[in-house]
């Protein structure tokens, strides 16, 4: 955790932004895996609770009374039975003091705070809940059925949290870079291990092991697959085959739960084919274009559309697309190859603050989300600010079901060469992804070491750094 002054100042700023009422920030409880005492491990605290109260223990709730300038940490101290199994832990009062909170109370007293606020017609602010136990807790405290809670969540609190969390401070950037250092090890482990004859499951498991051994955990479920055309293709027991491409999309959470998120695509046998290089070079150029143009004041929507425009032009050169580039872009024909957005915010969540509502987090009064297939999946389109951490993740995918569906419906025949597309159904997909920090005049990639991604660098790294199995 950071120095307690960090949390004191964060809560003070939150009070100034929300102005009045009672803010209730729910920490997470243990989540059972397959029976009550066998929980998912490691425990993951709610990110906004972490941001303002810093503590990772389960069963805590933080309250900030804006009108009376009070802060309270609610939670129950563990008993001797817990100590036998889990060891001694700090008392709730000690946990509160560590983050600059002078008042702590048992969880049962939280109901009193809520009842008093309701009697005085004071607003109780809470964020949209995403766990069912929290929804039940809110129902017990406020009498709101879970089906009503998303709409009842405080927009004032949502906007205040976003305003604070979207701009990363220097100490946060340090933590994200630590996560990126773990991410470098994860991805280079995949490159060093991959060869024909192994299973996707084996390589993916070793990638996960790096995250768990060097940090808290993975920042999301690792994607390692020869079917790169599947956006969220988890590792299977399929055997890696020579001539195929392997796509690895993975990231780490460091000890402070800040995240990394990278993707690399590389040949299973260590050598790209000419056809693979043709497609890879387009994705590489799009990735680097985003690095060139991302800077404060630029809409990330425009960066995304610039990438799509470049992709169309390059795909026309090899015959997969045709017609007028601007018309194809406006029609959304490029989404055949890029059905997702260029990137998202990143921080304490790998898709930072997404649970607060993407229309609040990634968009604003200046720009709203698109409803067009592909572009609708752009998670952030608003103006970039210094201190934003974004992902830059263009890709080109050949999805057989999508090719068949669009062809059968006669979509975008003026822009897509369906006969040539048929020959790419066995190709898979390519994605390249890095984490970037928006600086005063542009952006930079995060991490002291850059995971190899230029084709020659990838081939050389895989040839010179191979490691044999260790089981």
Quote the CA–CA distance of 236 and 252 in Å, as a whole number: 21
- What torsion, rounded to 10 degrees, do the Cα atoms 444, 52, 377, 439 define? -20
Stretch 246-253: mean pLDDT: 98
Residue 129: pLDDT over 70: yes
Residue 213: pLDDT over 70: yes
Residue 63 falls in which region: left (phi positive, over 0), alpha (psi -120 to 50) or beta: beta
For residue 24, what pLDDT is reported? 98
Q: How many whole angstroms from its chain centre is CA 131?
A: 18
User: Chain-wide mean pLDDT for the chain?
Assistant: 96
For residue 345, what pLDDT is reported? 98
Residue 39: CB atoms within 10 A of its CB come to 15
For residue 79, what pLDDT is reported? 86
Percent of the chain with pLDDT over 90: 94
If pLDDT is split at 50, 70 and 90, which confidence band does 471 have?
low
Q: Which of 210, 206, 261 minimizes the C-alpha distance to 434?
A: 261
Residue 470: pLDDT over 80: no
Q: Which two tokens stand for residue 308?
A: 């799509």
pTM listed for this prediction: 0.96
Residue 305: pLDDT over 70: yes
91-95 own/partner pairs: CB under 8 Å, 24+ apart: 92/60, 95/55, 95/57, 95/60
Q: How many whole angstroms from its chain centre is CA 419?
A: 36
**Cross-strand partners of 161:** none
Q: What domains does the chain contain, in order, with CATH numbers?
A: 4-166 (3.40.350.10), 170-465 (3.90.230.10)
Calculate Rg over the CA atoms of the chain: 24
Q: Which two tokens stand for residue 432?
A: 């390249």
Stretch 38-49: mean pLDDT: 92
Contact 94, 39 (CB under 8 A): no
Residue 457: pLDDT over 90: yes
Quote the CA–CA distance of 262 and 253 in Å, as a whole number: 12
Q: Which residue do the tokens 């697959």 mark?
A: 225
For residue 416, what pLDDT is reported? 98
Structure letter (DSSP) for residue 433: B
- Enumerate residues 6+ apart whose C-beta is below 8 A from 3: none
Q: Which two tokens stand for residue 460?
A: 């050389």
Q: Which two tokens stand for residue 246?
A: 């392997």
- Which sign does the torsion angle of CA 28, 31, 37, 39 carry? negative
CA neighbours closer than 13 Å in the CB half-sphere of residue 320: 24
């Amino acid at each position: 955790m950071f120095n307690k002054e960090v949390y004191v100042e964060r809560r003070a700023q939150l009070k100034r932004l929300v102005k009045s009422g009672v803010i209730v920030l729910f920490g997470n409880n243990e989540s059972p895996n397959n029976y009550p005492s066998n929980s998912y491990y490691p425990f993951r605290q709610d990110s906004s609770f972490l941001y303002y109260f810093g503590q990772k223990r389960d069963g805590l709730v933080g309250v900030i009374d804006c009108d009376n300038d009070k802060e309270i940490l609610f939670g129950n101290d563990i008993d001797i039975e817990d100590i036998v199994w889990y060891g001694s832990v700090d008392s709730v009062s000690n946990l509160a003091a560590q983050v600059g909170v002078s008042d702590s109370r048992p969880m049962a007293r939280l109901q009193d705070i809520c009842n008093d606020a309701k009697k005085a017609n004071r607003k109780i602010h809470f964020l949209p809940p995403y766990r069912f136990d929290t929804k039940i807790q809110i129902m017990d405290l406020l009498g709101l059925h879970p089906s009503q809670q998303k709409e009842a969540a405080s927009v004032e609190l949502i906007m205040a949290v976003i305003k604070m969390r979207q701009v990363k401070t220097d100490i946060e950037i340090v933590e994200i870079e630590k996560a990126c250092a773990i991410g470098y090890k994860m991805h280079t482990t995949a490159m060093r291990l991959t060869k024909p004859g192994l299973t996707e499951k084996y390589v993916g498991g070793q990638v996960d092991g790096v995250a768990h051994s060097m940090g808290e955990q993975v920042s999301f479920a690792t994607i390692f697959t020869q079917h790169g055309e599947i956006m969220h293709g988890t590792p299977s027991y399929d055997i890696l085959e020579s001539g195929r491409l392997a796509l690895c999309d993975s990231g780490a959470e460091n000890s402070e739960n800040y995240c990394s998120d990278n993707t690399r695509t590389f040949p299973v046998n260590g050598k790209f084919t000419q056809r693979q290089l043709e497609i890879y070079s387009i994705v590489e150029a799009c990735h680097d274009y985003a690095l060139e143009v991302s800077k404060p004041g630029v809409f990330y929507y425009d960066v995304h559309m610039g990438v799509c425009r470049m992709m169309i032009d390059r795909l026309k050169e090899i015959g997969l697309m045709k017609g007028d580039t601007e018309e194809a872009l406006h029609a959304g024909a490029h989404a055949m190859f890029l059905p997702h957005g260029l990137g998202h915010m990143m921080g304490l969540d790998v898709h930072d603050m997404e649970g607060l509502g993407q229309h609040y987090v990634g968009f604003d009064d200046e720009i709203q989300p698109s409803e067009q297939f592909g572009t609708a999946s752009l998670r952030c389109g608003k103006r970039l600010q210094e201190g934003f951490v974004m992902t830059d993740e263009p890709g080109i995918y050949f999805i057989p079901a999508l090719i068949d569906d669009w062809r059968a419906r006669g979509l975008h025949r003026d822009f897509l060469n369906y006969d040539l597309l048929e020959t790419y159904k066995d190709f898979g997909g390519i994605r390249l992804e890095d984490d970037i920090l928006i600086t005063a005049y542009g952006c930079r990639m995060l991490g002291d070491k850059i995971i190899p991604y230029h084709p020659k660098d990838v081939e050389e790294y895989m040839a010179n750094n191979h490691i044999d199995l260790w089981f």
